[in-house]
């Protein structure tokens, strides 16, 4: 009853059915259950048990040792935790044991590798520690211990297991030197993965190594491999991963000859290869040559290529139009080279192309404009080139588009309002171009329903911030605690990235785009008020509206942004007080309200106590910690502080005021015109702000004179009345 959509809790009585031989409930992700703590399946009739994907969130019980007849036990993706119970070694008839993708920990019982019938053991993606001890088994043919924390040297006994077909030990902490000659005796081995440990692969015999003739998949990423000579005898390879090693120079001709007819996936990324003139592989599916020292022109792979990655090199020529002959392309990554010239327009005609990434090159001209209806394009990244012209409207045909990054170019256009109809768009970055005009959007409730990153900074957008845009950003208005990372076939090869300014730093955000939320509209010409509806975007982590011409008060609704980590409203014309609700935003790490016209007391709270003066500079009428102007506890204190501040200003300006009164008296003595001329001369050579202070001072003196005169008159009347 697998894949049936069952939900709820498995009745424990099922585990006690006395004659049950097969129980298969795999891939019912909304189903949960509890293992019996006492003996279950009393007659030990159970032969096959598959509960993969069922949520147990529990330890494996000792009672599992009663299933002595079981041949196949699969409990992967079950949220299991704790150690493997010793009682599991009672399962002497078990042939297939799969506990991958759980949270099991502790050491692996050494006797598990010697279970008499066990042929397939999969314990990958857990938290096992300790060492992989020597073992003796005549039945084991497949061992997968990858993605754990195992350490120590690889057991020498491995080479004695001549029937072993698969050995996967990647992503652990194994160490020491491993000579490739240990593979020679494992004649049946066809799948070997030792990647990402701390081992160093050596070849003491150099030319005399004979690898198993059956070897089809060899993955030795980050194994200190320096040369390819040990692969001379490997002629059946269909997958080869030698990435993150120290291979230099060029690929020898004999390698291309060996690999020509069978190799489908080749990963030589992160080495020191200097040239690849051609790739004579007939049936290649994926080629990864990222992060080498390749120079010159772009090599064109065979037409069978689906995944082609050659980013982070030093390719300098133009992209040949022959690239469009690769009609099977799914992913093309040419990023971070020095490619120049125009982008082949025909790339838009490859209907199955999902990733087109050429960011950080020197490409010029215009973007491809021929994207067809039904295009499979998911990621379109040309950030950091010299592209001109407009944003092609044919992108509306790309209904699967997730990421659109055209930042740091010379595009000259208005806001592409038609993009709002793309139902899956998560990232829109148009920063640092020559885009202009107001942001007008279509009136539709399905406007950017999945958008999580919006970066329009450093353009020339003007007018008011579009309230209608912020009303429908559903993905920014909901904090989904259950959101998981997306998973698809391409994740093995490519990770989306986007350049963002967050918390004052420019970073390249990789792979976490599904949970990162930001709006950056800084360095434009926006005017008017900040829409209060922006407070509904409670999933926002970064909000940057700085360096615009925004006016009015800061909406108190922004205090509802409970997830915001960076808030920048600096260099605008905002007035009034900082909303007191801001003090309750405990996630806030960076706050910049500088260079506005804010006043009043800075809110007090745990986060606000961590901000320094530069968060508030340029707001002369703000008071409170961390500024030097005290805020006080009541109105009298506040009035006293204002008075003190005013008196300080008066004292500092006294010299100018004395000069002013002298000039005024001279005006009375020598004639009004001469006096006004002297005052005008003083104003024209000083700062005009003094004029406002002089007027305020005059008004103050006049008002004080009137009050004193009125007080004398009232005193005189009271005295006369008392005498009468």
Q: What was the pLDDT predicted at 435? A: 97
**In whole numbers, what is the pLDDT of the chain averaged over residues?**
85
> Which pLDDT band, with edges at 50, 70 and 90, does 135 fall under?
confident
Residue 217 has pLDDT above 60, yes or no: yes
| pLDDT tens digits along 424-471 | 999 999 999 999 999 987 666 778 889 999 999 999 999 999 888 898
| Separation of alpha carbons 186 and 158, rounded Å | 8
Q: What was the pLDDT predicted at 441? A: 74
Residues 6+ apart with CB under 8 A from 47: 21, 22, 69, 70, 71, 72
Same fold, 1-129 and 453-481+492-647: yes
603-642 CB burial, b ≥16 within 10 A, e <16: beeebbeebeeebbeebeebbbeebebebbeeeeebeeee
Q: Which CATH number fits domain 1-129: 3.30.70.890, 3.40.50.2300, 2.40.30.10, 3.80.10.10?
A: 3.80.10.10
Concatenated DSSP letters of 118-182:
--EEE--SSEEESB------SS--EEE--SS--EEPPPGGGGG-TT--EEE--SSEEEEEEEGGG
Residue 663 has pLDDT above 50, yes or no: no
| pLDDT tens digits along 539-588 | 999 999 999 999 999 999 999 999 999 999 999 999 999 999 999 898 99
Least confident of 148-157, 414-423, 493-502: 493-502
Q: What was the pLDDT predicted at 617? A: 94
> Which pLDDT band, with edges at 50, 70 and 90, does 384 fall under?
very high
CB 326 within 8 A of CB 350: yes
| pLDDT tens digits along 236-291 | 999 999 999 999 999 999 999 999 999 999 999 999 999 988 899 999 999 999 99
Give alpha helix (H) positions in 228-307.
Answer: 253-259
Q: What was the pLDDT predicted at 647? A: 37
Of all residues in the chain, what percent carry a pLDDT higher than 70?
Answer: 81
Residue 677 has pLDDT above 90, yes or no: no
| Separation of alpha carbons 263 and 244, rounded Å | 20
Quickly count: other Cβ atoms within 10 Å of residue 705's Cβ: 10
Q: Which CATH class is domain 453-481+492-647?
A: alpha beta
Half-sphere exposure (Cβ direction) of 396: Cα atoms closer than 13 Å: 8
Sign, CA torsion 349/352/354/356: negative
Quickly count: other Cβ atoms within 10 Å of residue 418's Cβ: 13
Residue 642 has pLDDT above 70, yes or no: no
Q: What was the pLDDT predicted at 552? A: 96
| Separation of alpha carbons 231 and 247, rounded Å | 13
Q: What was the pLDDT predicted at 502? A: 64
Residue 672 has pLDDT above 50, yes or no: no
Quickly count: other Cβ atoms within 10 Å of residue 214's Cβ: 13
Least confident of 20-34, 272-286, 400-414, 698-712: 698-712
Residue 213: alpha-carbon gap to chain centroid: 43
Of all residues in the chain, what percent carry a pLDDT higher than 90?
Answer: 65
Average pLDDT over residues 27-37: 91
Average pLDDT over residues 674-702: 44
CB 518 within 8 A of CB 496: no
> Which pLDDT band, with edges at 50, 70 and 90, does 689 fall under?
very low
Q: What was the pLDDT predicted at 488? A: 40
Q: Which is nearest to 97 in space by CA: 79, 115, 83?
A: 115
Domain segments of the chain: what residues? Answer: 1-129, 453-481+492-647, 655-718
Q: What was the pLDDT predicted at 636? A: 41
What are residue 336's DSSP bridge partners?
Answer: none
> Number of helices (H) and strands (E), helices first, in the chain?
6, 47
SS3 649: helix
> Which pLDDT band, with edges at 50, 70 and 90, does 706 fall under?
low
> Which pLDDT band, with edges at 50, 70 and 90, does 183 fall under?
confident
Q: Which is nearest to 214 in space by CA: 235, 193, 241?
A: 235
| pLDDT tens digits along 394-403 | 999 999 999 9
142-165 CB burial, b ≥16 within 10 A, e <16: bbbbbbbebeeebeeebeebeebb
């Amino acid at each position: 009853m697998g894949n049936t959509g069952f939900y709820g809790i498995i009745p424990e009585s099922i585990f006690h059915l006395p004659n049950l031989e097969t129980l298969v409930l795999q891939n019912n992700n909304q189903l949960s259950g509890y293992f019996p703590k006492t003996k279950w399946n009393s007659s030990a009739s159970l032969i096959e048990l598959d509960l993969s994907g069922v949520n147990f969130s529990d330890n494996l019980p000792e009672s599992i040792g009663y299933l002595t007849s079981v041949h196949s036990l699969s409990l992967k993706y079950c949220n299991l935790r704790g150690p493997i119970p010793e009682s599991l070694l009672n399962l002497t008839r078990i042939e297939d044991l799969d506990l991958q993708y759980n949270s099991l920990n502790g050491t692996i019982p050494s006797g598990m590798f010697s279970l008499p019938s066990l042929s397939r053991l999969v314990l990958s993606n857990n938290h096992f520690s300790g060492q992989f001890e020597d073992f003796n088994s005549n039945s084991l043919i497949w061992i997968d211990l990858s993605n754990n924390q195992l350490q120590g040297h690889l057991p020498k006994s491995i080479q004695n297991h001549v029937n072993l077909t698969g050995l996967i030990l990647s992503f652990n902490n194994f160490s020491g030197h491993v000579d490739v000659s240990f593979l020679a005796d494992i004649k049946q081995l066809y799948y070997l993965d030792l990647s990402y440990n701390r081992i160093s692969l050596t070849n003491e015999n150099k030319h005399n190594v004979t690898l198993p003739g059956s070897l089809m998949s060899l993955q030795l990423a980050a194994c200190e491999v320096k040369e390819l000579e040990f692969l001379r005898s490997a002629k059946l390879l269909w997958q080869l991963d030698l990435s993150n090693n120290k291979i230099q120079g060029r690929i020898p001709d004999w390698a291309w000859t060996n690999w020509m007819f069978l190799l489908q996936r080749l990963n030589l990324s992160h080495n020191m290869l200097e040239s690849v003139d051609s790739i004579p592989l007939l049936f290649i599916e994926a080629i990864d040559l990222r992060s080498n020292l390749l120079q010159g022109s772009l090599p064109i792979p065979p037409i069978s290529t689906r995944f082609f990655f050659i980013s982070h090199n030093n390719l300098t020529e133009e992209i040949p139009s022959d690239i469009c002959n690769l009609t099977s392309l799914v992913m093309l990554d040419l990023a971070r080279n020095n490619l120049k010239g125009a982008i082949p327009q025909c790339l838009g005609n490859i209907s199955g192309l999902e990733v087109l990434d050429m960011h950080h090159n020197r490409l010029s001209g215009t973007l491809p404009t021929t994207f067809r209806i039904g295009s499979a394009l998911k990621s379109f990244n040309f950030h950091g080139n010299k592209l001109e012209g407009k944003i092609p409207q044919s992108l509306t045909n790309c209904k699967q588009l997730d990421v659109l990054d055209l930042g740091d170019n010379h595009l000259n256009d208005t806001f592409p309002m038609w993009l709002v109809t793309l139902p899956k768009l998560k990232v829109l970055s148009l920063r640092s171009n020559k885009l202009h005009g107001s942001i007008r959007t279509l009136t539709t409730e399905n406007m950017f329903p999945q958008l999580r990153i919006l970066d329009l900074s450093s353009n020339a957008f003007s007018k008011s911030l579009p309230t209608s845009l912020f009303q429908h950003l559903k993905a920014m208005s909901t904090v989904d605690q259950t959101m998981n990372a997306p998973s698809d076939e391409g994740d093995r090869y490519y990770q989306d990235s986007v350049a963002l300014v967050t918390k004052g730093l420019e970073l390249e955000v990789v792979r976490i785009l599904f949970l990162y939320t930001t709006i950056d509209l800084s360095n434009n010409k926006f005017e008017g008020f900040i829409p209060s509806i922006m407070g509904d975007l409670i999933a926002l982590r970064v909000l940057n509206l700085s360096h615009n011409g925004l006016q009015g008060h800061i909406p108190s609704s922004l205090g509802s942004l409970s997830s915001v980590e960076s808030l920048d409203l600096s260099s605008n014309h905002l007035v009034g007080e900082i909303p007191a609700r801001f003090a309750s935003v405990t996630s806030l790490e960076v706050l910049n309200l500088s260079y506005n016209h804010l006043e009043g007391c800075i809110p007090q709270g745990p986060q606000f106590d961590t901000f320094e003066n530069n968060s508030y500079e340029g707001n002369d009428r703000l008071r409170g910690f961390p500024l030097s102007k005290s805020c006080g506890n009541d109105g009298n204190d506040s009035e006293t502080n204002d008075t003190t501040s005013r008196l300080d200003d008066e004292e500092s300006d006294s010299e100018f005021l004395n000069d002013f009164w002298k000039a005024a008296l001279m005006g009375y003595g020598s004639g009004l015109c001469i006096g006004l001329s002297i005052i005008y001369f003083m104003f024209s050579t000083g700062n005009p702000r003094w004029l406002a202070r002089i007027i305020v001072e005059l008004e103050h003196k006049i008002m004080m004179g009137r009050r004193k005169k009125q007080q004398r008159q009232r005193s005189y009347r009271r005295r006369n009345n008392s005498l009468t």
